[in-house]
Structures are given as C-alpha cells and as structure tokens.
Amino acid sequence: MSEVARRNARTGAGQGGAAARVTALEALVERYRLLVETSAAMATGLDLAEALGRAAEVLTKRLGVSRCEFLRVDARSGDFVLVASERPAGAATDVPRCSASSIGLGGLSARGSGGDERRPAIRYRDRGESSPGDLALMRERHEWSCVSVPLLCGKHVVGALALGDKRRRRRWSRDELDIVQAVADQAAVVVAASRPAARPPDETVYDALTGLYTRDHFAEHLRRDVTLARRYGQELSLMMIDLDGFRAFAERHGGECGWQALIEVAQLLRRATRDRVDLVARFAEGEFAVILPQARASGPEPTAARNVAERIRAAVATQRFVDRGGRREASITVSIGVAGIGIGGYTAEELLRSAEKALYLPERGGGDRVHVFGT
C-alpha cells in the first residue's frame, strides 16, 4: 500500500471513529432526556395511576412501542394488578388482574423475592427460546416482541413494567433495555411508597416523635440513591438542616414545646418536598436530612435543592411555635447545608461530609441561612 493510500485509510478510520462517538453521544443525550421526562411524570405529586400513566405515555412515544403497562402487586392476593397502560387508540385492554406469566415474567412470584432477576426479560415471537405461553400471548396481542421487568424494592417484588411491540423486524438494543431498567427503578420507588399498608411502629425505620425516617434508614437509602444516580448519570442532592439554638429553645420554653416544635418542623419539611420522591429523615436531636433525587444542588428550577432549602428556611422563620405560656409567639430558625453529587462527592459518605461542611458556615454566621457546598 502506498503512503497516500495509508494516509487516506487512516483519515477514513478517524472520520468513522468520530462519527461513532457522535452517534454514541446522541444516544446518551436521548436516553438522559427520556429519563428526565419519566422522572418528571412520576414526580408530579399525582395519584399513582395518573403519575404512572404519564410515564407510560412518555415511554410509549419515545421507544415507539405499541403497549406499555405498569402493574403493582396486590398486598392481599399477591396478583399483579394493572395500574396504568398506554396503547394505540381503540386497542383492547386486558383484565386488570393477572399472573406473572400473563405479562411475560415467567415463573416470577409476586409474593416472593426478586433475587438478582432485575434485568429486563425480552422475548421474540420468531425465535425458538420463547415458551408456548409467551408465544400464545404475543399472537393474541399481534405482537412480535415483548419486554418485561419486575419492580423491586430491595429484593421484594412490588410491581412490574411490561412492553410490547408489533414490528416484526424490531430487535431491542442494549441502550433501550438500559432505559427500560432505569424507568423500572424509578417506578419501583413510586409504587413502594404508595402501598396502602399502614406504617409499622418500627423505630429502626420511623422516628417515634416525628414519623419521619430514622438516621439508619436514611443512610441505607442514601447509599442506594447515590449508586442509582451514578449508574444512570442523574443528579442528586442532599440537605442537612439544623434548628438554630434548639437546646436553648427547649430550655427556655420547656421540653414539651421543644418536642412540638420538632413535630411542626417535620410537617413543614413534608410540605416543602416532593411526595414519593424525596426522603426526609430525622438525623439527630434537632437535625434533619433530606435526599432529593433528580435535583441539582443549584439552578433556576424550583426543584433545585438550593431553592427548596430557601423555601424551607423561610417557612420555618415565619412559623410561630407554642411557647411556655401556651401562646404561639415563639420563633426558631434553621441553618441548611446543601451538597450535590459531583462537586460534593461521588459516594454517600462524601456527599454527607460535604453537606455537613456546608451546614457549618450558616451555623457560624448566626443561622437562618442556606449554603451550597462548593459555592
């Protein structure tokens, strides 16, 4: 080969490599955009059916499938119950209560553990590995492929996500299956949080005074949420909140008033954060912590942690608490430290240390302030 030919070959290979990188980057951007859209749909504060219905609509449109179903496990019967679905206009719907095999999950038991079977299961009608039951189901629905994945909370199955497509030549890519898995992880949190079973008086999970999550339960969720955020390239923020001079407040007005103030601050935190998305915990005596998935530390959007923190700070500062005389004339303020994944660290431990460092500055400055780590 001549030198000119070799140079042309190298140039062509370089151009091909650049094109491949651009294609990969475009795919990553598209994947992130879809995850943001489904996250927004499930973080609307609507009831479970409407929130998952919006997510199903997004997933159907962006993946181009003919069927998308979210199901939950009925606590009494153990059956999968249809919660939300998206299909073409005029398409028939299935009976809303079904077994695992009828949605392509094979022998998975809704009553049992999901184990490590958390990856999407894919079945093609024109391949020999599909079971007779799967083939019959796909023929009945006129589908050539189906994808299903259990929704897991820990190792327990709380629901399922099922998709179907009628295009014979469709072959599901790894990127598409990664998207399905990421959406299933998001939906599992929403479904688990909406389960109607009463919260047990388990002091390892719930704080007896405020009803918020405990420090140990918070730590477990923080590790899991940081892992998920890094795996799927999502934002995540952490807030540490300290009641300024809480011990002095309790000494001045009495322990009963101090406890009542903690309960009321916990209620303010619940109202200021996203239901079924953010996790609020009592961290110490007069200290709270909030995990905010899919939320930047700073930014113009209302869900950015700095903006949420400022709303909390203002709400507490304007609240009047019960004083020793039984009047609502006592006041208290909060200091808030915020850290976001990235500049605040890439592990749960690093993020927690950064949020605590951010909290230190408002406390030293007299309180009633918000500080974001790294700003």
- Residue 73 phi/psi, 5-degree rounding, is -90, 125
Q: Do 248 and 311 meet the contact criterion of CB atoms below 8 Å apart?
A: no
pLDDT at 46: 60
Per-residue pLDDT averaged across 26-55, rounded? 70
pLDDT (tens digit per residue) in 258-277 = 998 999 999 999 999 998 88
pLDDT at 309: 97
Instruction: Give the integer Cα–Cα distance in Å for 332 and 104.
Output: 55
Q: Binning pLDDT at 50, 70 and 90, where does residue 203 land?
A: low
Question: Which pair of tokens denotes residue 74?
Answer: 């009925």
pLDDT at 169: 87
**pLDDT of 242 strictly over 90:** yes
What is the domain partition of the chain in residue ranges? 30-193, 215-372
136-161: buried (b, 16+ CB within 10 Å) or exposed (e) per residue? Answer: ebbeebebbbbbbbbbbeeebbbbbb
User: What average pLDDT is seen over the chain?
Assistant: 81
Helices (H), the chain: 3-42, 48-63, 132-141, 174-193, 215-231, 246-253, 255-272, 305-318, 348-364
pLDDT at 342: 93
pLDDT at 16: 58
Residue 345 is given by DSSP the state B
Q: Do 137 and 163 meet the contact criterion of CB atoms below 8 Å apart?
A: no
Q: Homologous superfamily of 30-193 in CATH?
A: GAF domain (3.30.450.40)
Q: Residues 6 or more apart from 25 whose CB is under 8 A from it?
A: none
Asked if domains 30-193 and 215-372 share a fold, the reply is: no
pLDDT at 31: 63
Q: What number of other Cβ atoms are within 10 A of residue 29's Cβ?
A: 10
Q: Binning pLDDT at 50, 70 and 90, where does residue 326 land?
A: confident
Q: Binning pLDDT at 50, 70 and 90, where does residue 120 land?
A: confident
Per-residue pLDDT averaged across 167-180, rounded? 88
- Among 5-19, 26-40, 281-295, the range of highest mean pLDDT: 281-295
Instruction: Give the integer Cα–Cα distance in Å for 72 and 156.
Output: 12
**pLDDT of 2 strictly over 80:** no
Per-residue pLDDT averaged across 89-108, rounded? 46
pLDDT at 94: 45
Please provide the DSSP assignment of 173-232 as one string.
Answer: -HHHHHHHHHHHHHHHHHHHHT--SPPP--TTTB-TTT-SBPHHHHHHHHHHHHHHHHHT
Q: Binning pLDDT at 50, 70 and 90, where does residue 118 land?
A: low
**pLDDT of 305 strictly over 90:** yes
Choose between 90 and 267: higher pLDDT.
Answer: 267
Instruction: Give the integer Cα–Cα distance in Å for 9 and 137.
Output: 51
Per-residue pLDDT averaged across 93-118, rounded? 45
Per-residue pLDDT averaged across 108-125, rounded? 60
Q: Do 87 and 96 meet the contact criterion of CB atoms below 8 Å apart?
A: no
- List the CATH code of the domain at 215-372: 3.30.70.270
Residue tagged 């969720």 (tokens): 221
**pLDDT of 315 strictly over 90:** yes
pLDDT at 26: 58
**pLDDT of 100 strictly over 60:** no
Q: Do 51 and 41 meet the contact criterion of CB atoms below 8 Å apart?
A: yes
**pLDDT of 108 strictly over 80:** no
Give the residues across from 97 on adjacent strands.
81
Per-residue pLDDT averaged across 9-20, rounded? 57
